[in-house]
Structure 1
Amino acid sequence: MRALLQRVSEASVTVDEDILAETGAGLLVLVCAMQGDSTVQADKLAAKISRLRIFQDENGKMNRSLLDTGGEALVVSQFTLAADTRSGNRPGFSAAAPPGEGERLYTYFADQLAAQGIGVARGRFGADMKVRLLNDGPVTIWLEV
């Protein structure tokens, strides 16, 4: 699985001009299930994200995790993280898991992140979403498990 994390002061996702989900301080997690991924990768990714020390401590050092700060996560499916741009000018997405499997792993991942003790808000799989965020830092981290 692949994820792009953005540390945020706030984030929201809108579908058809209705706010579907929003969070305060924490992370926007854009996530993509890849061909061959299973719940094993989703479990590893959820554990890593919940414990990743990218929030500032009292000395201004990135030394605290979502669990430490009580931050939230807005989890949004994004198959374009599977983009292959090695040839030509049009990205290919064949490395992404098929839609049914992608949705199952997206849902499972979000559930596992919540099981780690993180407040989780979610986008809608496969929907045309508008994502708003106030990036904090900015801090943007790429993860692949």
Structure 2
Amino acid sequence: MRALLQRVHSASVSVDGETIGQIGPGLLILLCAMQGDTEAEADSLAAKISKLRIFKDSAGKMNLSLKDTNGAALIVSQFTLAADTSRGNRPGFSTAAAPDTGRHLYEYFTEQMRNLGITTANGQFGADMDVSLTNAGPVTIWLDTAG
């Protein structure tokens, strides 16, 4: 699985002009299931993200996790993280998981984050979404379970 994490002061996602998910301080997580991914990758990724020390402590150092700060996660499916741009000018997405698998792993990942005590909000799988955020830092981290 691939995830792009953005530390945020706030973030929201809307579909057709209606806000369907929003958070205060925490992480915007753009998530993509790749071919061959299973629930094991989702478990591993959720555990890693919940404990990743990328929030400032009282000394201003990145030393606290999402769990430590009681931050929230806005989880948005984004198959374009699977983009292959190695040939030509049009990205290919053939390495992304099939839609049914992608949806299952997206929902499963969200549930695992909740099971880890993280407050979550979501986008809508497969929808054309508008995502708004106020970056904190900015801090942006790329994670890939295949690496």
Do the two structures share a fold, i.e. TM-score over 0.5?
A: yes
Unaligned residue ranges in structure 1 (runs of 5+): none
The letter of the residue matching 2:8 is V
TM-aligned CA deviation for residue 56 of structure 1: 0.1
Aligned residue in 2 for 1:57: 57
Q: Which runs of 4+ in 1 moved over 2 A?
A: none
When normalised by structure 1's length, the TM-score is: 1.00
Aligned residue in 1 for 2:45: 45
Distance 2:25 2:11 in 1: 8
Q: Report the identity percentage.
A: 64
Aligned residue in 2 for 1:90: 90
TM-aligned CA deviation for residue 86 of structure 1: 0.6
Aligned residue in 2 for 1:99: 99
Mapping for residues 1-145 of structure 1, pairs under 5 Å:
1-145=1-145
Distance 1:5 1:61 in 2: 18
Distance 1:33 1:110 in 2: 13
TM-aligned CA deviation for residue 38 of structure 1: 0.1
For the aligned residue pairs, the C-alpha RMSD in angstroms reads: 0.3
Unaligned residue ranges in structure 2 (runs of 5+): none
TM-aligned CA deviation for residue 78 of structure 1: 0.1
Distance 2:39 2:56 in 1: 31
Structure 2 SS opposite 1:95 = coil
TM-aligned CA deviation for residue 53 of structure 1: 0.2
TM-aligned CA deviation for residue 112 of structure 1: 0.3
Structure 1 SS opposite 2:112 = helix
Distance 1:71 1:7 in 2: 10
Distance 2:30 2:21 in 1: 14
TM-aligned CA deviation for residue 102 of structure 1: 0.2
Structure 1 SS opposite 2:13 = strand
The letter of the residue matching 1:40 is A
Distance 1:101 1:60 in 2: 40
TM-aligned CA deviation for residue 57 of structure 1: 0.2
